[in-house]
Structure 1
Amino acid sequence: MNAPGISSEHQADNTVVRVSGDWLLSNLANLAPAILPALPAAGTLLDGAELAALDTSGALRLLEIMRNAGADPQQITHVNFSDTHAAVFELVARNFGDSMIVALPAREGVLAHIGRSSLANWQHICGTINFVGKISHQVFQLLRHPGEFRSQEFIAQIETVFVNAIPLAFAMMFLMGVVFAYLLGIQAEQYGASIFVVDGVSLAMSRELAPVIVAILVAGRSGAAMTAQIGAMKVNDEVDAISVLGLSPYNVLVVPRILALLIALPLLVFIGDVAGILGGMLVAERQLGIEAFAFIARLDQVLPLKTVLLGLIKAPVFALFIGVIACRMGLTVAHDAHSVGANTTSTVVQSIVAVIIINAMFAVAFVELGF
């Protein structure tokens, strides 16, 4: 295969551009940097006597080179072309102008943007409701036929969601307790009320901080992992393979993960309560001089069991929302890697927003009920 070549020469009445070699898509990489002198817009002859082969890609590249030199593609006259080469060249020349048109993105008005976003949100809400309905139906089916429950998958998810998350949850809440007690102790010490650090740390950790922060941790760690796992299975057609085998993807993939979250999150919140209080106890002893036994004695007075239970009650609700969001976003992944990443990010954002909103609703409800 001969490398494509191009040259030009000026004659008395016009300019002649000569092409040679094989102008084929597979051979264009061998084309030397084509530098033509300025060509007139009209009156350019294209001599193809030495042209060995030509396809549409080669003809398009040839016309681009001549256009960049100043020639009008519609005013080029080709000579010494074979019938086949002439037909290819004429076809590309006729459509050359259309191929250079770049469609500008349509500018969307504010109202159109609001309407499109509202429609997308409505479709997302309807899809979530439909997803919850399918899960509920699957749970009722499992209650009727307990033998269909995927116990091994459930145990594997418990290990992933709960056991492997214990060190991270404990460390995060321990440090949170240290920081909270340190900042609170600086203020309390000014008024001689250092002992009230015990009240603030224990109540804040058990009622608000541990449930919310541990839920956000689980959303970013386990929720994102669930979406990525299910999404990767969707891309690899493994979800379709489960259906072909006569199994329910909801039974195999969704229900074990949601149940694992429902069990793991309350336990992680309790561990977070303990870790946060231990962190506060450490700071109280080192910074404020409150001994461990005095801290524990005060803790027994100011931390009722009801407060701890109020924090633990939130955890299953957080877990249910995180699990539903994560699994649904995983099953709605399209067959490309970009969709997996986008849905994983969306899972984290939706889960965190849901946790914050639900926690605010719990706070208002508890106050109204007198808890």
Structure 2
Amino acid sequence: MTEARADFDEAQGTLVVSGAWHAGAASVLPALGGKTVRAIDGAGITQLDTNGAWLLLSAARPRANDPMPELQAFQPQHLAILELVNRHSAASAAQPEHRRENVLAMTGRGAQVMAEHALGLLDFVGRLSIELWVLLGKPGGWRWREFAAQVRAVFVGAIPIVSAMLFLLGVVFAYLLGDQAQQYGANIFVVDGLLLAILREISPVIVAVLVAGRTGAAITAQLGTMKVTEEIDAITTLGLSPLAVLVIPRMLALLIAMPLLVFIGDIAGIAGGMLVAQQQLDISYSMFMDRMADVILLKTLVVGLGKAPVFAMFIALIACRMGLSVTRDARSVGANTTSTVVQSLIAIIILNAIFAVTFVRLDI
């Protein structure tokens, strides 16, 4: 194999190269010192790979905007390699440099993304409403088996984590509240505060957060994977509606499961508080139950349970829409799944704040 050589003819502005050109030939390139290379003579080249081609072109064109030198006496296969490397180098150089955005630009971009999400959600709600109207006229189109499977996945699978989480929160809340109440001899009023907090706020919000992170993310990942593997296209090809087959059963399952999970969370939270009240405050179980029967109001329970379907509706809409919005790559599945959790948490917090202000104004 002939060693690579390179000489620069200053009179002609020609870089004369010969031998085998590969990555190890960089040391034989002459120091051009800013001289213009008008042509490259490759008559003596015996071997050339993409590394060697890049070395030659980089020596002749140190800057991307320098003119392309004339390629003289190259063999056809070597000329093809040089042209290939030149095209890819030009494409890489043409990519714009990333510029750091200022605060105003980032704020505007964030507002644009939020507006796009809101418009996309409204569009999805409109198409889903039309599909529901069609299904109401065709009872045979309901997917009851899929609905039952989703209820089992959403409700039964979430019972252990909901019970454990609300039980521990009931323990913590009762302990902190009881520690303060003991200083004023108001131990029995811990029951009042515990019931109000668990039934109205803690249980509905915590259950919604758990469902958003567990079920909402799972729905987006499932639908997104089906989109990537073209299963949704297959459903459409069969003349079926993806909304009727995939979205509506999941939405109905969440609407039914969420109030039940909140109710289970209420019981678990009260049980945790009852345990702490007996151990820390010397409030027996019977005294706790008597006090609970005296102070609990039906509206307190209904308010908490009434929030659940609203939270469930928004979680289902966001999760299903983001799942169906996945593009055909695995990275999009992960990004949309993360976006589902974030959007759901924001929606839960905003909706809970609206409920709180509204109920106070209505004296509920």
TM-score range, shorter chain: 0.7 to 0.9
RMSD between aligned alpha carbons?
3.5
Q: Deviations over 1:55-87 (max 9, x none)?
A: 77753343236778x9x9869787764477568
For 2:324, the equivalent position in structure 1 comes to 331
1:310-329 mapped onto 2 (5 Å cutoff): 310-329=303-322
Matching residue's letter, 2:231:
E
Give the Å deviation of 1:155: 0.8
Contact persistence 1:8–1:15 (CA under 8 A) = no
Distance 1:349 1:94 in 2: 42
Contact persistence 2:61–2:68 (CA under 8 A) = no
Contact persistence 2:7–2:30 (CA under 8 A) = no
For 2:215, the equivalent position in structure 1 comes to 222
Contact persistence 2:26–2:55 (CA under 8 A) = no
Contact persistence 2:224–2:323 (CA under 8 A) = yes
Contact persistence 1:43–1:75 (CA under 8 A) = no
Q: Please, which of 28, 31, 36 is the counterpart of residue 39 of structure 1? A: 31
Residue 289 of structure 1 aligns to a residue in which SS? Answer: coil
For 1:208, the equivalent position in structure 2 comes to 201
**Is 1:158 equivalent to 2:151 in the alignment?**
yes
For 1:59, the equivalent position in structure 2 comes to 53
Q: Deviations over 1:276-323 (max 9, x none)?
A: 000001111111121111111111111122211111011001101111
Q: Deviations over 1:24-66 (max 9, x none)?
A: xxxx6xx437323652344889663442455777533432367
Distance 2:206 2:270 in 1: 14
Matching residue's letter, 1:63:
L
User: What TM-score comes out, normalization by structure 1 length?
Assistant: 0.84
Query: Which moved further from structure 2: 317-326 or 285-294?
Result: 285-294
Gaps of 5+ in 2: none
For 2:4, the equivalent position in structure 1 comes to 6
Identity of aligned residues (%): 53
Give the Å deviation of 1:135: 1.4
Residues 9 and 59 of structure 1: CA distance in aligned 2, closer, same or farther (over 3 Å): closer
Distance 2:29 2:188 in 1: 89
Residue 240 of structure 2 aligns to a residue in which SS? Answer: coil
Distance 1:258 1:210 in 2: 21
Residues 87 and 216 of structure 1: CA distance in aligned 2, closer, same or farther (over 3 Å): closer
Contact persistence 1:63–1:93 (CA under 8 A) = yes
Gaps of 5+ in 1: none
Distance 1:311 1:50 in 2: 85
Residue 20 of structure 1 aligns to a residue in which SS? Answer: strand
**Count of aligned residue pairs for this structure pair:** 360
1:92-131 mapped onto 2 (5 Å cutoff): 100=93, 103-105=96-98, 114-131=107-124
Matching residue's letter, 2:24:
A
Residues 43 and 170 of structure 1: CA distance in aligned 2, closer, same or farther (over 3 Å): closer
For 1:198, the equivalent position in structure 2 comes to 191
Distance 1:93 1:140 in 2: 59
Q: Deviations over 1:183-205 (max 9, x none)?
A: 11110111111111111111110
Give the Å deviation of 1:102: 5.4
Give the Å deviation of 1:126: 2.2
1:275-314 mapped onto 2 (5 Å cutoff): 275-314=268-307
Give the Å deviation of 1:360: 1.3
Residues 97 and 342 of structure 1: CA distance in aligned 2, closer, same or farther (over 3 Å): closer
User: What TM-score comes out, normalization by structure 2 length?
Assistant: 0.86
Distance 1:126 1:367 in 2: 31
Q: Deviations over 1:90-113 (max 9, x none)?
A: 897799788646532356666665
Give the Å deviation of 1:336: 1.6
Contact persistence 1:43–1:76 (CA under 8 A) = no
Contact persistence 1:239–1:249 (CA under 8 A) = yes
Distance 1:91 1:314 in 2: 62
For 2:260, the equivalent position in structure 1 comes to 267
